[in-house]
Structure 1
């Protein structure tokens, strides 16, 4: 059974997801999918970003609340997601 790669910020919040069949079985490939530039991948790895392969039940439990902005994680910038300012165009 194929799973889902989830992109996890240092705070534990999931910021992205992609189906394993699209990316493959390696975490490095998942990281490349989300972050194409190697310099950015190195920086993210140093910051504590990670990518995990999970099944559907785990995806529903961990990723769905974050992707729907219904989690209680802090953003990777140190503030709750709801407190992040909107871009000027969205106001």
Structure 2
């Protein structure tokens, strides 16, 4: 069963998502999808950006609220 790569900013908020079948099985491939330039990927890694592979249920729980602007991360930032 394929999952979803989620892009997580340093504050823990999901900033993007892409289907695993489109990108591939490696976190490095997901990072390249979101951030094409090597220099930018290195900077993001240092800053604490992460990419995690999750299933559909976890995507609904973690990514969907963030992507819809309904997560606790955005409420705390306001």
Shorter-chain TM-score category? Answer: over 0.9
Looking at both structures, which has the greater relative contact order when contacts are Cα pairs under 8 Å and sequence separation is at least 6? 2
1:21 has 2:21 as partner? yes
Flag as ranges the 4+ runs of structure 1 deviating above 6 A: none
What secondary structure sits across from 1:52 in the alignment?
strand
Q: State the shift of 1:72 in Å.
A: 1.2
**Cα RMSD for the two superposed structures:** 1.1
What corresponds to 2:61 in structure 1?
A: 61
Q: Which has the higher helix share?
A: 2
What corresponds to 2:5 in structure 1?
A: 5
What secondary structure sits across from 1:25 in the alignment?
coil
Structure 1: which 5+ runs fail to align?
Answer: 84-91
Q: State the shift of 1:48 in Å.
A: 0.3
What secondary structure sits across from 1:73 in the alignment?
helix
Q: State the shift of 1:73 in Å.
A: 0.7
Larger Rg belongs to:
1
What corresponds to 2:70 in structure 1?
A: 70
What corresponds to 2:47 in structure 1?
A: 47
Structure 2: which 5+ runs fail to align?
Answer: none
What corresponds to 2:38 in structure 1?
A: 38
